[in-house]
Amino acid sequence: MRKGAPHIVEYFHQWDDPYSQLAEQVLDRFGERYDIKLVRHEIRATGGKNQPELEKLDTWARRDAELIAPYYGLKRPSELDRSAHHAPSEAVLDAGSARLAELGHYSGAMFYYAGEWYWGVDRLFYLEQRLRDLGACRDVSLPFLCPRPEIDVSGADASALTLDFYPSINSPYTSIIYDRTIAMARECGVQLVHKPVLPMIMRGVPATREKGLYLMFDTKREAENIGIGFGPVMTPIGEPTRRIYSLLPWARRQGRDTQLMSAALDLAFRKGVALHRRAGLRKAVEQPGLDWGDAQAHLVSPGWKDETARYQAEMGDELGLWGVPSYRLRGGEGEEDLCVWGQDRLWLVAAEIRRRAGATGVSA
């Protein structure tokens, strides 16, 4: 940006979006704490290929926002008094939505600053850090408004709990949280049930260029935050996915299905290895200590298809989730299942594990 120019942050508010209702609660403090010009736009849901299942998205967003609000010290959307809130005019919505599209995005609760996007309270700490690095924080002794909670299962004995884990081999987000999920399960003793599903694009969910670009940018930023490498990337969509999945039942019988999945994700998303080539696939098999010769007999095995379809139906129809990675935590006397979606919700799974396991120092 030009030297001496004001730090202009644009915020895109979707009045009926629960994530926007969370973000709105910190706007005043954000504007007071940082030397910025905050420009607010009102928008409507984009829909279309960027948001292809709006009804499901709305249902999930409301549930998710209710879960995370207390951890950020915010009111749940259901606790807010919306009676005096009026929907913006069509002209205002048209202008805001046009500006969002002009800048190349599609979601509400988005902050835009100097070429980068920050989604709601979940990503606000990235923007705060950037502004602090630029000397635009009026009081650096103050903590972040919405710091990311830690993935913490310390002191928890979760052997009586079960965690269903729904990853996908073609998911950038899965690639950066997969090993951490497995490690967390081992650390606390939760019974992990590995349930890989097909990539969204192989399930007919459209992926636009602007959405793809944002997801890759955001994944890299998330990876750096947790100290995980990301890139170079060679996505394993299509035949590589089918081949790796066909080997998972065989690898599971040897107790190494998660190791095989981990190796494939590492090669595809951190080493840029082409898994559609024989040499790349062999690396994925041999890296966790599996026998390449034995694997040949299982590469065309169709058994994985019914299994994966069952997991997909369970995740989508039963749990109401369709993105990956997703999680379902089961167990605990009188407790409902906790169902969450996203690599940025593993901290919430961990917090709930600690609560249900009776670990000390748990708050929400």
Q: Which tens digit of pLDDT belongs to each residue from 168-177? A: 999 999 999 9
pLDDT recorded at residue 139:
97
CA nearest neighbour of 166 among 320, 52, 50, 350: 320
Q: How far is CA 309 from CA 219, 251, 294, 304, 305, in A?
A: 26, 19, 25, 8, 6
Alpha helices in the chain (DSSP H): 18-23, 27-33, 54-68, 90-103, 120-133, 172-188, 209-225, 239-253, 257-269, 278-286, 292-295, 303-313, 346-356
Give the mean pLDDT of 191-200: 92
Q: Which two tokens stand for residue 89?
A: 């005019």
Upper half-sphere CA count for residue 296 (Cβ side, 13 Å): 4
Confirm whether 221 is domain-assigned: yes
pTM: 0.94
Confirm whether 154 is domain-assigned: no
CA nearest neighbour of 274 among 329, 233, 238, 214: 233
Q: How many beta carbons lie within 10 A of that of residue 333, not counting itself?
A: 6
Q: How far apart (Å, rounded) are the C-alpha atoms in residues 354 and 350?
A: 6
Q: How far apart (Å, rounded) are the C-alpha atoms in residues 24 and 85?
A: 13
Q: How far apart (Å, rounded) are the C-alpha atoms in residues 241 and 275?
A: 8
Q: Which two tokens stand for residue 236?
A: 């394993």
Indicate the average pLDDT of the chain: 93
Domain that holds residue 109: 7-133
Give the mean pLDDT of 159-181: 97
Residue 309 pLDDT > 70, yes or no? yes
Residue 2 pLDDT > 80, yes or no? no
Residue 81 pLDDT > 80, yes or no? yes
Looking at the structure, do residues 168 and 291 belong to the same domain, yes or no? Answer: yes
Q: Which has more pLDDT, 210 or 342? A: 342
Looking at the structure, do residues 99 and 226 belong to the same domain, yes or no? Answer: no
Residue 146 pLDDT > 70, yes or no? yes
- Per-residue pLDDT tens for 275-297? 999 999 999 999 999 999 999 99
Tally of structural domains, the chain = 2
Looking at the structure, do residues 321 and 173 belong to the same domain, yes or no? Answer: yes
CATH code for position 257: 3.40.30.10
